[in-house]
Structure 1
Amino acid sequence: MARYKNGINGPVSGKIGNVVGATCRGVAYLRGMPESNAAPTQKQINQRLKFALVMGWLKPLLNIINIGYQILTGHKTAMNRAVSYHLKEAVTGDAPDYGIDFKKAVFSRGELLVSWILEVLCLVNAVLNIKWDNLPASAFSSDNDKASFIIYNPAKESFVTFENAALRGDKEAVLQLPGDFAGDNVHAGMHYVNVEGNAVSTTVYLGELTLPA
């Protein structure tokens, strides 16, 4: 409850939105409406299930999200922006069996240019070899841009991240995944962060990959 000092229109009386104005012993107060005890609707329950799914799925990537969504935050946090995007674009399935479509997952959104992916090789011992080519250098594409990779293993419900694993100018990265990923299908994504850390590219989906057993 907050005490209200009269403005040019005098004390507030009655309900305005979720706020109620009242006067007690000559003192004007503003107070919030009491919360409803009504049971949540099925739509509300479903939305909560989706939110919990997305929030839990993205939580291990907090550091990457904070960088990847930094220029879009506004009055929201980077994670709030990422959760909002994935709720709208990446959740699949029907209640209560929701899932996330990794092909639509975006961990970084920005104006740096992406590269052409030439080849993604799945090698023995859970190694990925990724090769790419670049556009000519510009304000949005520098050989010093740092490449990061996000690998997700659905069977193990586990992320592996490789932040700043290579430079754009290297045109190649070799990633050693955990040994127990051998034989599994994984999803992979890639993005760039500039040297200053204040500009990023949008995530590029590298595909669903089968690692040799």
Structure 2
Amino acid sequence: MGILKSGALGPFRNKVGPLIGRRHMSQNLLLPLPHPSSKPATAKQLEAQEKLGLLSSFLNRIDKLVNPGFKAYTKHNSPVNAAFKYNYDHAFVKQGETFLLNYPKLVYSRGHILPPEGAALSSAGSKITFSWLPQNQSAYCQFSDKASFMVFNAVKEKGFVIILQHTVNRYAGSFELEVPKDFAGNPVHCYMSFSSADGKKQGDSLYVGEVVVA
């Protein structure tokens, strides 16, 4: 049953005849009813579906970082969709007949705040240490900028992600992050980014590297 909110000419929700009305991103949308195809999917369609599932699942799992990180690049879209569009062309590598995520190329945030310089990783005792070099202050590089970190363990079933936001300031030069003990021996993908102290301005996320948890 369709619901008319503002009379016969106003927006509506649900199904009315061959049309569907819905509200999305503050817009009233009028869409045709879907017509499922009886034809089997082509190889290209299956490939596109595989890529869609991989990247969408990853970005939705890290939406705490993506939502502020891509907020400035949305119009009539969500931050996750904006991140999907930005990442899609470089997000995959092919291993045999299977697509995998290209972790070093993935980006969860974009902006003018400068990324860390000389970022490096080390691991000992179920802890990962991020470190970075001092940088001269400027409009987009302040000692007070706050760091966010992400560690992704692709070895675990469906992947296991650790996210820490707005932890230490840029001046600290390092941050020690504890991971579960069963990460020992697993390679993990590590990322970080800076935002302004008030969180209103974001910077490009940086793939710091892969490290095996000691």
Question: Normalized against structure 1, the TM-score is what?
Answer: 0.78
Does the Cα contact within 8 Å between 1:49 and 1:96 map onto a contact in 2? no
Q: Which residue in the other structure is 1:24 paired with?
A: none
Residues 29-63 of structure 1, C-alpha deviations (whole Å, 9 max, x = no match): x9948736342333222211211111112221111
Q: What pairs with 1:5-154 in structure 2 (closer than 5 Å)?
A: 32=32, 35=35, 37-39=37-39, 40-93=41-94, 97-117=98-118, 119-123=120-124, 125-154=125-154
Q: Which residue in the other structure is 1:165 paired with?
A: 167
What is the CA distance between 1:208 and its match in structure 2? Answer: 0.9
1:173 match: secondary structure: strand
Distance 1:135 1:69 in 2: 25
Q: What one-letter code is carried by the residue in structure 1 that aligns with 2:37? A: N
Distance 1:99 1:62 in 2: 20
Residues 65-102 of structure 1, C-alpha deviations (whole Å, 9 max, x = no match): 00111111122210001112232111121686211011
The RMSD of aligned alpha carbons is: 2.6
Distance 1:194 1:102 in 2: 25
Structure 2 unaligned segments of length 5 or more: list them: 3-7, 10-18, 20-29
Structure 1 unaligned segments of length 5 or more: list them: 6-18, 20-29
Distance 1:143 1:164 in 2: 13
Residues 142-169 of structure 1, C-alpha deviations (whole Å, 9 max, x = no match): 1111101111111112111111121111
2:168 match: secondary structure: strand
Does the Cα contact within 8 Å between 1:46 and 1:95 map onto a contact in 2? no
Runs of 4+ in 1 over 6 A off after TM superposition: none
Q: Which residue in the other structure is 2:206 paired with?
A: 204
Q: In terms of mean alpha carbon deviation, does 90-99 or 65-74 score higher?
A: 90-99
Pair 1:177-2:208 in alignment? no
2:62 match: secondary structure: helix
Larger radius of gyration, structure 1 or 2?
1
Percent of aligned positions with the same letter in both sequences? Answer: 25
Distance 1:34 1:165 in 2: 46
Distance 1:142 1:169 in 2: 8
Question: Normalized against structure 2, the TM-score is what?
Answer: 0.78
